[in-house]
Amino acid sequence: MKIAILPGDGIGPEIVEQAVRVLNALDEKFEMETAPVGGAGYEAHGHPLPEGTLKLAKEADAVLFGSVGDWKYDTLERPLRPEQAILGLRKNLNLFANLRPAILYPELAGASTLKPEVVSGLDILIIRELTGDIYFGQPRGVRTAPDGAFKGEREGFDTMRYAETEIRRIAHVAFQAARKRGKRLTSVDKANVLETFQFWKDIVTDVHKDYPDVALDHMYVDNAAMQLVRAPKKFDVIVTGNMFGDILSDAAAMLTGSIGMLPSASLDAHNKGLYEPSHGSAPDIAGKGIANPLATILSAAMMLRYSLNKAEQADRIEAAVKRVLAQGLRTPDIYEEGTTKVGTREMGDAVVRALA
C-alpha cells in the first residue's frame, strides 16, 4: 500500500517528518513517496498543486498532508496561492467527507479557555461536507451588477449550491458515524434564510428514515455557534455544509485549547482519504523545532484506520500518544507548569518509544 506524503509549508515538513518516523516504527511497512505542495509546490514547479503531486495523490491509497501557507505568498494571484492546493486536492480526489473530532484529553483540560466543568470529557465529531457549497459553486467573480438596487455597479459574487446527491452522501456518512458513537446527530443549517439549506434540511430528514436508531435534530448555524460555547458536551455528531463546517469545526477545535492535538480525515466514497492536522502552517514558529507533531501523528492513525484498514496499528499509535501525555511530555503550545517541555523531534522520539 502506498502513501503520498505532502509536507507543504511552514511547520508542515517538521511535523510530517515525525509522523513518518512513527509509521516507520510499526511492524507493517508502507511504501511512501514525498512531493511538494502549497508554497513548496509553487517554489519547485510554479504551481501550488504541481501535476506530479496531484498524480501521486491520485494513485496513492492515502495522502498524509502537513499544512500549507505562508505570508510571503499573500501577494500572489489567487490561483497560485498555497491554499488552492488543498482546495484542488479535495475537489480532484472527491474528498467530500471531512471528519474533525474535537476531543479534550483529560491531561490537557487546563489548556482550554472554557471552565473545566463545561469542557472536561468533551468528545464531539464534526462532519463537514468538503467538495460543494459556496466553496466551488459557479458562477462567481467580480462583475457589473446585472440587477438589484446596485445595478450597474461593481460587485463581488459567489454561488452557494448543493445538489441532492451531495447532501445524501454526506448525510449517510454522518448517520453511520453517529451510529458508531452516541447515536445522536445534529444537522446544522440556515433553513430560515437560505434556500440551499432548506433543501439540505429536507434531504437530511429524508435520509434519516434509513437510520431510525439515530436521533436527529436540526439547528440553525447561529444557534450552533452559541451552543458550542454554552454547552458543547451536549453534541455528539454534527453534520453541516462546507462553509458553516469551516467555521464551526475551528470553533469546536479551539474549545479544547489544544488544536495542536487534533487530527482530521477527508474521505471519498471508497474510504480513500487525505489526512492532516486541524491546525495551520504556523509560519511564525516554522523551523524552530517547537511545533506539536501530535495532531499529524494522530492523523496518521486515522489514515491507518479509515483508508489502510489497519485499525490495530491505529490503536497502537493512539495509545502511544496517550502514554506520552501521561508521562507529562508537552510541546510549548500545550505546556503547563509541572510538565516537561519538549520539542518536535523529542515528542516524535517519545511516541516511537511508547509504541514499543
Ligand X SMILES: CC(C)[C@H](C(=O)O)[C@@H](O)C(=O)O
Contact of residue 134 among ligand X, a second copy, none (CB under 5-8 Å per partner type): a second copy
Residues 202-231 that bind ligand X (CB under 6 A): 222
99 Cβ partners below 8 Å, 6+ apart? 125, 126, 127, 177, 264, 265, 266, 267, 302, 306
Query: Looking at this protein, which amino acid is placed at residue 67?
Result: S
Instruction: Decide if 237 contacts 181 (C-beta within 8 A).
Output: yes
164 binds, among ligand X, a second copy, none (CB under 5 to 8 A by kind): a second copy
- Show binding-site residues for NAD(+): 280-292
**CA distances in angstroms from 335 to 107, 109, 172, 180, 192, listed in the order given:** 11, 12, 39, 33, 43
Do 189 and 242 touch, CB atoms closer than 8 A? Answer: no
Residue 236 appears among annotated catalytic residues: no
Count of residues for the chain? 356
| Residue 141 binds a second copy (CB under 8 A) | yes
Smaller CB separation from a second copy, 159 or 340 = 159
Q: Which residue is catalytic, options 42, 73, 135, 275?
A: 135
- Judged by CB under 8 A, does residue 160 bind a second copy? yes
Instruction: From the candidates 190, 201, 272, 310, give the one annotated as an active-site residue.
Output: 190
193 contributes a contact to ligand X by CB under 6 A? yes
Residues whose CB is less than 8 angstroms from the CB of residue 5 and which lie 6 or more positions away in sequence, other chains included: 16, 20, 32, 33, 34, 35, 64
Residue closer to ligand X, measured from CB, 32 or 87: 87
Smallest gap from residue 20 Cβ to a second copy (A) = 28
Question: Which of these ranges, 157-165, 304-312, 316-324, 339-347, lies near a second copy under the rule CB under 8 A?
Answer: 157-165
Contacts (CB under 8 A) with a second copy, residues 238-267: 243-244, 246-248, 250-251, 253-255, 257, 259
86 binds, among a second copy, ligand X, none (CB under 5 to 8 A by kind): ligand X
Give the closest residue to 187 by CA, choosing from 226, 131, 245, 135.
245
CA atoms in the 13 A half-sphere facing the CB of 3 = 24
Interacting positions 66-85 with a second copy (CB under 8 A):
78, 81, 83
250 carries an active-site annotation: yes
Assess contact for 343 and 289: CB atoms under 8 A.
yes
Beta bridge partners of 65: 6
Please tell me what DSSP assigns to residue 236: S
| Distance (Å, whole) CA 313 – CA 349 | 17
Distance CA 78, CA 235 (A): 36
Query: All 3 cell numbers of residue 73?
Result: 505568498
**Which positions from 82 through 121 interact with ligand X, judged by CB under 6 A?**
83, 86-87
If binding is defined by CB under 6 A, does position 192 make contact with ligand X?
A: yes
Residue 226's binding partner among a second copy, ligand X, none (Cβ under 5 to 8 angstroms by kind) is: a second copy
Tell me which residues in 126-165 interact with ligand X (CB under 6 A): none
Q: Is the Cβ–Cβ distance between 138 and 159 less than 8 Å?
A: yes
57 counts as binding a second copy under rule CB under 8 A: no
Run of H or E residues at 348:
helix 344-355
Q: Is 135 a catalytic residue?
A: yes
Active site residues: 135, 190, 222, 246, 250
Applying CB under 8 A, the residues found at the interface with a second copy are 78, 81, 83, 87, 113-115, 118, 134-135, 137-138, 140-142, 145, 147-150, 153-166, 190, 192-200, 221-223, 225-226, 228-231, 243-244, 246-248, 250-251, 253-255, 257, 259
